Structure 1
Amino acid sequence: MNTGNRRQLPLASAGCSCCAPAGAAEQATTLTTPAAQQPPAAVADPDAGTSFQRDFAVEGMTCGHCVRSVESAVSALAGVTSASVDLVPGGRSRLTVKGSASDADVRQAVAGAGYALA
């Protein structure tokens, strides 16, 4: 995984569900993001056969640890060739998944990491 082009972001003041004291995650997930920053729906890759790329919106992520938690959980799914997150601290971050894993499996992996798809 190449993370060399990602900026290091500070921990948001409310914390996050992976690093903050109890109750801070609920505060972080109540923030809203303008429609222009919301990720698009799934994008099919016709050259990949049954494998394709989809984008999901994930709420509640605020730091690099959140990103690693979600990327690791989704990457571990059978059929996933890559998973990456474009972090929008306190808003809706974009999770890009390449592979043939079902949307339900991706949703379950994200939930298992402590976050929710929007």
Structure 2
Amino acid sequence: MQTPSRTELPLTSSGSGCGCCSTNSRETPAEKTAGVEYAVEGLTCGGCVATVEKAVTAIDGVDTATVELVPGGLSRLIVSGPAGTSEIRDAVISAGYSLTK
């Protein structure tokens, strides 16, 4: 019985996930830094992060919303898209957290 041939896939750097399904491996440095940054208070866990990201991405005009969690401190919310600060602030407040800029 012969083993089927395999195709070698390129490896990605550690921490960015596997090469076949990691979205990080497809991003350019400009895509990672694009967007407006906000400081968010009150986030303590991954559930908080998911709640804020879901609330903000639901806004018309938001392309992406990513939170970098700092438990007990000011977490960083990065939003790309043409949505305004007031809409983003309202979404964060309605999710139960406070936004500082």
| TM-score after normalising by structure 1 | 0.56
Give unmatched runs, 5+ long, in structure 1.
Answer: 6-44, 46-51
Please, which of 78, 91, 102 is the counterpart of residue 60 of structure 2? 78
Q: Which residue number corresponds to residue 87 of structure 1?
A: 69
Please, which of 46, 67, 79 is the counterpart of residue 97 of structure 1? 79
Q: How many residues align?
A: 71
Q: Which residue number corresponds to residue 111 of structure 1?
A: 93
- SS of corresponding position for 1:85: strand
C-alpha distance in structure 2 between counterparts of 1:64 and 1:53, whole Å: 21
Kindly indicate whether residue 43 of structure 2 is the aligned counterpart of residue 67 of structure 1.
no
Query: Residue 78 of structure 2 aligns to which amino acid in structure 1?
Result: T
Give unmatched runs, 5+ long, in structure 2.
Answer: 1-14, 17-29
C-alpha distance in structure 1 between counterparts of 2:48 and 2:41, whole Å: 11
Large movers: runs of 4+ above 3 Å: none
- SS of corresponding position for 1:114: coil
Q: Bigger radius of gyration, 1 or 2? A: 2
